[in-house]
Amino acid sequence: MNGDMLAIYPGSFDPLTNGHVDIIQRGSRLFDRIVVAILLNVEKAPLFTVAERVEIAREVFAGYPNVEVDTFDGLLVEYARRKGAGVIVRGLRAISDFEYEMQMALMNRHLNPDVETVFMMPAETYTYVSSRLVKEVVALGGSVTNLVPTLVEDRLREKKRGRGN
């Protein structure tokens, strides 16, 4: 192992929002490398396939040499161990995120004390953005401009057309 500080940013990213992008950019400035790790098979009916989500994230972060996109399954701390990552990055939007995130962080510490969870706050403008809400707004015909990357906005529109509305 070298002395590089590698961080993992896990999530479902269905789809990637500007809140996620904000956290990834902050992480890319803080750590030597950050891996956007897309969790496999969590949602029973995701809007975007894992392959689509990987492709989107790779495209959005094409200009960031220290941002990597990967997928994982099973225990996050085991994945971190395999990758040689010492840090798990999570985003905190509001108090409502806190309880669940703290529980996860402490459980992960119990499972692997060598991995530290680091929380970051996004720009205020993204504190109300979630993938779930973005999907809901688009399904109901609203605009998510400036809340997701342009590429995601286009893909959301395509999905909506494909579903016959």
Stretch that binds ligand ATP, among 77-85, 127-135, 138-146, 152-160 (CB under 6 A): 127-135
Residue closest to 108 by CA, chosen among 74, 76, 79, 71: 76
**Maximal C-alpha separation, the chain:** 52
Residue pair 133/18 in contact (Cβ under 8 Å)? The answer is: no
Binders of ligand ATP among residues 46 to 85 (CB under 6 A) are none
Q: Could you say whether residue 108 binds ligand ATP (CB under 6 A)?
A: no
Residue 40, Cβ density class (10 Å: 0-12 exposed, 13-18 middle, ≥19 buried) = exposed
Least Cβ distance, residue 52 to ligand ATP (angstroms): 14
Q: Is 28 in the site for ligand ATP (CB under 6 A)?
A: no
Q: How far is the CB of 3 from ligand ATP (least distance, A)?
A: 26
**Angle 95-111/76-83 helices, nearest 10 degrees?**
60
Binder of ligand ATP out of 47, 77, 90, 148 (CB under 6 A): 90
Asked if 97 touches ligand ATP (CB under 6 A), the answer is yes
